[in-house]
Amino acid sequence: MADQSKYIWFNGEVVPWERAQIHVMSHVLHYGSGVFEGIKCYKTSEGPAIFRLPEHINRLFQSAIKYGMEIPYNQDELFEACKNIVEVNEFENCYIRPIAFYGYDTLGVYPKDCPVEVAIASFFWGAYLGDDGVANGVNITISPWKRLSLESFPASAKASGQYLNSLLAVQDARKRGYDEALLLNQQGNVAEGSGQNLFIVKNNTLYTNDESASILLGITRDTIIQVAQDIGYEVCIQDISTDDLFNADEAFFAGSASEVTPIATIDDNPVGAGEPGPVSLELRESYLDIIHGRNERYNHWLSFVHSKEILESAGTE
């Protein structure tokens, strides 16, 4: 359960958590007409830093465009609002959830003159799939629910209503005793987890799929691709069959909340040795170094909540 924090940025103002309210007739409650992002902020030696904030905010706007939603703020305003809500809540490590959605005007499916409202919350959220899962690998199942077709929804949009598909998959997985679900697409190939992209490793080569497999093009996915190539691994982007999956040496999830989480078993079949493999562990450690500011090569991916000038001033007082 996410911890409640003190404040939320809501329609241009920082308000107490309990005052960030919407009407029960808001369009988003009835039709899922919202777009959102999941962003992480981490403690570094230079203060809290938000990982790949510009890319997340840009994707929020691109998702909104796909649903004909005009966000009433520009990207720079939301960029600063994300940093502001971390600062006022006095966080060093936290999860940030910006969301833009259609509010109340009409109950028709067509949003007509529904206002677009925007909120940004920040709160503490631990390991998405649990500390044990991160350390020892998670146990997942292939879901009986298929990923939504590209012909039905824009897979590249991170939209609220689309996640009902994920909700069905993860509910089924948990009821059957698994940590997470893996969805196949309409062609029977691997798509993604309920909220994470998938990588497999075979003979020290990484494989992952792309938008044509009905996946969200995750920002953590992009990070892992770049970092793996920088280390010297070959990364192949192609469809992944279930045969590829069950014959993999290693497999792991990648996502903002999940970070890099190894997969130990799939439907009770061990992946490789049934424990986190060396490539997964190396990439996880590299990722942790980057997000905590311990690898200067990637500091351009960090947006520091406090400016360097403020930090230097505080250090001299």
Q: What is the dihedral of CA 118, 124, 126, 128, to 10 degrees?
A: -10
Instruction: Give the pair of three-digit tokens for residue 214.
Output: 């009905």
Q: Quickly list H helices, 186-255.
A: 219-231, 242-246
Question: Does residue 158 have an active-site annotation?
Answer: yes
DSSP 19: G
> For residue 120, which of 220, 226, 32, 7 has the smallest C-alpha distance?
7
Tokens of 221: 């996915």
Distance in angstroms (rounded) separating the CA atoms of residues 220 and 201 = 17
Q: Do 14 and 95 touch, CB atoms closer than 8 A?
A: no
Of 216, 218, 213, 221, nearest to 149 by C-alpha is 213
Q: 146, 158, 175, 308: which one is catalytic?
A: 158
Task: Kindly list the catalytic residues.
Answer: 158
